[in-house]
Amino acid sequence: MIAAPCSSHPAFRHHSPMGRIFEVRKHTMFARWNRMAKQFARIAKDITMAVKSGGPDPGANPTLRRVMQNARAVNMPKDKVDAAIKRASGRDATHYQQAIYEAYAPHGVALLIETATDNPTRTVAEVRSILTKGGGNLATTGSVSFQFSKMGVFRLDPADIDQDDLELYLIDHGLEEMGESTGEKGESQLVIRCAFNDFGQLQEGLEARGLAPLSAEHEYICQAPTELPEEQATEVLTVIDKLEQDEDVQKVFHTLA
Whole-number pLDDT of residue 25: 61
At residue 149, the pLDDT reads 94
Q: Which helix (H) or strand (E) holds 112?
A: strand 110-117
- Average the pLDDT over 223-227 and give the result: 88
| Residue 10 banded pLDDT, cuts 50, 70, 90 | very low
Q: Does 30 have pLDDT greater than 90?
A: no
Interval 83-102 mean pLDDT: 95
Instruction: Indicate whether 24 pLDDT > 70.
Output: no
pLDDT of residue 6: 56
Domains and CATH numbers, the chain: 1-27+96-257 (3.30.70.980)
Distance of CA 187 to the CA centre of its chain: 18
DSSP letter at 30 equals S
> 128-171 pLDDT, tens per residue?
999 999 999 999 999 999 999 999 999 999 999 999 999 999 99
Dihedrals φ, ψ of 128, to 5°? -60, -40
Q: What is the mean pLDDT of the chain?
A: 89
Q: How high is the pLDDT of residue 64?
A: 96
SS3 189: strand
Instruction: Tell me which residue of 244, 174, 248 sits closest to 26, measured CA to CA.
Output: 244
pLDDT at 80: 97
- 14 pLDDT more than 70: no
Residues in the chain: 257
Give me the pLDDT at residue 183, please. 84
79 pLDDT higher than 70 = yes
Q: Taking the model in full, what pTM does it have?
A: 0.88
Q: For 8-15, what is the mean pLDDT?
A: 40
Give the H/E segment covering residue 50. helix 32-54
Q: How far is CA 211 from the centre of its chain?
A: 20
Query: From CA 69, how far away is CA 71, in angstroms rounded?
Result: 5
* Rounded distance between C-alpha atoms, residue 136 and residue 110, angstroms: 10
pLDDT exceeds cutoff 60 at 11: no
Q: What is the mean pLDDT of residues 93-116?
A: 96
Mean pLDDT is highest, among 15-29, 31-45, 67-81, for 67-81
Among residues of the chain, what percentage have pLDDT more than 70? Answer: 88
Contact 211, 167 (CB under 8 A): no
- Grade residue 4 by pLDDT with cuts at 50, 70 and 90: low
Q: What is the distance between the alpha carbons of residues 246 and 229, in angstroms, rounded to a whole number? A: 27
The type of residue at 9 is H
Distance from C-alpha of 99 to C-alpha of 2, rounded to nearest angstrom: 19
CA distances (Å), 59 to each of 62, 76, 200, in order?
Answer: 7, 20, 14
- DSSP 8-state code for residue 3: P
Do residues 177 and 193 touch, judged by C-beta distance below 8 A?
yes
**Rounded Cα distance, 140 and 164, in Å:** 43
CA separation for the pair 249, 38 (Å, rounded)? 10
Q: What is the DSSP letter of 223?
A: S
Tell me if 43 sits within 8 A of 67, measured CB to CB. yes
Higher pLDDT, 235 or 19: 235
